[in-house]
Structure 1
């Protein structure tokens, strides 16, 4: 059971996932700080001097009843900035790397097998003797020409 757990941890996917979570958390904190410190004050400035930004207070004197549209807009901007950076810095390069790997894995023309080469030689010999080429062996011919131990009769 512990060996299976060790294999799971050492596969590499877990390490990649852990790094992604840490980097994602750090980047989200950075973007949140940017939008809170720079974008939110700009949004609040559009509401005027006496207003706390784009917000509505439902009950006068009750701070908990404030609907803060600036915070919602701030969160939307944070999401789009984070998503864009993750897409362009992580997803697109990984996609290109995987496409390059697939191109390397593609085989051109596959090498003929031993059986295919032997069949081609047989057909060439038959053609030299003036006999028609045979495409493959029929089941009866195969049984007749090969014994049980793989040697010809």
Structure 2
């Protein structure tokens, strides 16, 4: 039982996920600090309020803290933009550059001319409609 757990923990995907969670938490803290300490005061200078948390309304003695929600949305949008522009976009460009020199792999299946089902390329007869097909050499 412990051997199986050890194999599970040492697989690449689990380690990659653990690193991603730690890096994501650290990245989230950086972006939250940037929103709280740089962007929100900048917006406050324009709007005239210290931050959005002061925006609220009350209905029947229930306070609705709309400002905190707006702060969370701003933080979420900035984290999403930062992840896209600093991680996803450069990674996609790198992968496209690496794929330029590759040739696509040879196909392993073909379509049956009678029923248009996918069959192995070396098949002499279609497994779906049993019609004879020419085998690829």
TM-score, normalized by length of structure 1? 0.51
CA gap 1:9/1:29 in 2 versus in 1, 3 angstroms:
same
In structure 2, C-alpha distance between the alignment counterparts of 1:78 and 1:25, rounded to whole Å: 14
**1:98 Cα deviation after fit:** 5.4
Which structure has greater strand proportion?
2
Aligned equivalent of 1:122: none
**1:96 Cα deviation after fit:** 4.9
In structure 2, C-alpha distance between the alignment counterparts of 1:53 and 1:8, rounded to whole Å: 44
Asked if 2 retains the 8 angstrom alpha-carbon contact of 1:47 and 1:54, the reply is no
**1:72 Cα deviation after fit:** 2.3
Q: Which has the higher contact order (CA 8 A, sep 6+)?
A: 1
Q: C-alpha offsets along residues 115-147 of structure 1, whole Å, 9 cap, x if unaligned?
A: xxxxxxxxxxxxxxxxxxxx99xxxxxxxxxxx
Aligned equivalent of 1:140: none
Q: Which structure has the greater CA radius of gyration? A: 1
**1:103 Cα deviation after fit:** 6.6
- Aligned-pair Cα RMSD in Å: 4.1
Residue-pair matches, total: 108
TM-score, normalized by length of structure 2? 0.55
Aligned equivalent of 1:9: 9
In structure 2, C-alpha distance between the alignment counterparts of 1:105 and 1:5, rounded to whole Å: 39
Which structure has greater helix proportion?
1
**1:89 Cα deviation after fit:** 3.0
Q: Structure 1: which 5+ residue stretches go unaligned?
A: 111-134, 137-153
Q: Structure 2: which 5+ residue stretches go unaligned?
A: 109-133
Q: C-alpha offsets along residues 85-104 of structure 1, whole Å, 9 cap, x if unaligned?
A: 22233333444555646974
